[in-house]
Amino acid sequence: MGLFVLLGLFALCVVIGVPVAFALGISALAAFWYEGLPLMIGFQRIIAGINIFSLMAIPFFIFAGEIMFHGGIAMRLVKFASAAVGAVRGGLGIVNVFSSMLFGGISGSAVADISALGSILIPVMKEKGYDADYAVNVTVTSSIAGIVIPPSHNMIILAVAAGGSISISKLFLAGVLPGILMCICLAVAAYVVAVRRGYPAEAFPGWYALAYSFIGAVPGLFTAVIIVGGVLSGIFTVTESGAFGAIYAFVVTLLFYRGITWQNFKAAVRQSVQTTSMVMILIACAGAFAYMLTFYRVPDKTVILLTSITDNPILILLMINVALLLLGMIMDMAALILICTPIFLPVAISLGIDPLQFGMILLVNLGLGLCTPPVGTCLFVGCAVGKLPMEKAVRTIWPFYFAIFAALMMITFIPAISLTLPRLIGG
């Protein structure tokens, strides 16, 4: 009955529109009260949820992404991507994917990717004769590269939700190949759709223009090198690396690109504070919710339930994927990472699946959920930027869904995609 109180009240709060963070906190405290546990313990669990040093990296990552968004780094990356791959038929679609891979790997945020690149590329694609739905769909689906390709604050949330059993530095390494694979699948889908619709190819600007655009993009790209390289080399902790990366991004946009103004700086700080506040409240309340899930032995019961249905690892992985895909369609990603990790990670470990591989499966799955209705944050933002009704975008977005799903299946059933770099470099 107590588990019904926990999950039922949470579902009720979500349905009536209570923010997910508060829904988690309310349902957890209600379960504490129902079980006769002191509410003080519940509040202690809420505070303990964010009393973790590595979480200090999240505001630094978010601030670095906002600084790069407002400081002109996105435009340099688009110019480089256009010079590199724009000469292919429907090249602007591939440029969009390639730009998202580069910018997402720096900002670590799918929404920042859409806001920065979408505001640049979607109008240009329309002017060049591309349909609005194609421009929006490519932008929306490729934006989730920022979730998988490091550095990503979602990886830090995942490591925290796993109870410290997953190394953040190894998660960074594990995300490189899956992120690139997903972008390759999306680029193929963009090319196929472009050919079918008869979109044009851009003229190759020449090797000099390619080299010049690359040189202009290098200082911005080096932000990701500093953050990820600092962690992997052991020079910085994750938090120190995030802080240094934020300082470096500010210096580059201020002195090298000269794209940051006082107004842009204030906007970056304001947005960073808002985003960090939402994430931290969510993590705090999820700490108490996860405590009650453990109290009711939900992870153990989930393992028993799934293994009682079948002992085939392939079928169990497919069931986990389906569950995550369905949940991703109705809930926010950060909340699902915090809720689903302690439930499904023990199942994955019982099947002999490496936690790093499970992390990649989880992130790609929930990233796809950001692009699907009815609660697809990236889809909403992309349609708003592209001034396109969501219904029109959803009608033609299916080839890109299939591309991400194909990458997800490869990541699920080919462990080497996620584990090769951690084993080679991480030791």
409 has pLDDT over 80: yes
Element (H, E) at 103: helix 91-107
pLDDT digits (tens, 9 = 90+) for 148-193: 888 778 888 888 888 777 888 888 889 989 999 999 999 999 999 9
Its domain, for residue 334, covers 2-424
Residue 52 has pLDDT above 80, yes or no: no
CB contact set of 343 (below 8 Å; sequence gap of 6+): 293, 298, 299, 302
Q: Write down the pLDDT at residue 86.
A: 67
The total domain count for the chain is 1
Q: Is residue 400 pLDDT above 60, yes or no?
A: yes
**Partners of 89 in beta bridges:** 201
pLDDT higher than threshold 60 for residue 111: yes
Which residue in 158, 86, 96 sits closest to 123, CA to CA?
96
pLDDT in tens, 238-263: 788 878 888 888 888 888 877 788 88
Question: Residue 415 pLDDT more than 70?
Answer: yes
Q: What is the pLDDT of residue 122?
A: 82
Residue 215, pLDDT above cutoff 70: yes
Helices (H) and strands (E) in the chain, counts: 23, 0
Contacts of 44 (CB under 8 A, 6+ apart): none
Residue 336 clears pLDDT 80, i.e. is over it: yes
What pLDDT is stored for residue 16 in this prediction? 86
Contact criterion met (CB below 8 Å) for 184 and 101: no
Helix/strand/coil for 292: helix
Q: Is the model's pLDDT at 406 over the cut of 90?
A: yes
pLDDT at 188: 92
- At 257, give phi and psi (nearest 5°): -80, -30
pLDDT at 363: 92
Q: Between 100 and 426, where is the model more confident? A: 100
**What percentage of the chain has pLDDT greater than the value 90?**
12
Mean pLDDT of the chain: 82
- The confidence score (pLDDT) of residue 106 equals 62
Confidence (pLDDT) at 426: 58
Contacts of 383-388 with CB under 8 Å at 24 or more apart are 383/136, 383/140, 385/114, 385/115, 385/118, 385/119, 385/122, 385/136, 385/139, 386/118, 386/122, 386/132, 386/135, 386/136, 386/139, 387/132, 388/132, 388/133, 388/136
When pLDDT is averaged across residues 142-150 and rounded to a whole number, the result is: 84
Residue 160, CB-side half-sphere exposure with 13 Å CA sphere? 31
Higher per-residue confidence, 90 vs 321: 321
- Which pLDDT value is given to residue 108? 61
Reported confidence tier of residue 228, pLDDT bands at 50, 70, 90: confident
**Structural contact between residues 335 and 21, judged by C-beta atoms closer than 8 angstroms:** yes
Of residues 408 and 369, more confidently modeled: 408
* Residue 223 scores a pLDDT above 80: no
Distance (Å, whole) CA 74 – CA 394: 26
Give 3-state DSSP helix, strand, coil % of the chain, rounded to 5. 80, 0, 20
Q: Is the pLDDT of residue 121 over 70?
A: yes
The per-residue pLDDT for 227 is: 76
Confidence of residue 375 (pLDDT cuts 50, 70, 90): low
Instruction: With a cut of 90, say whether residue 267 has pLDDT above it.
Output: no
Q: pLDDT category, 427, cuts 50, 70, 90?
A: low
Is a pLDDT exceeding 90 seen at residue 67?
no
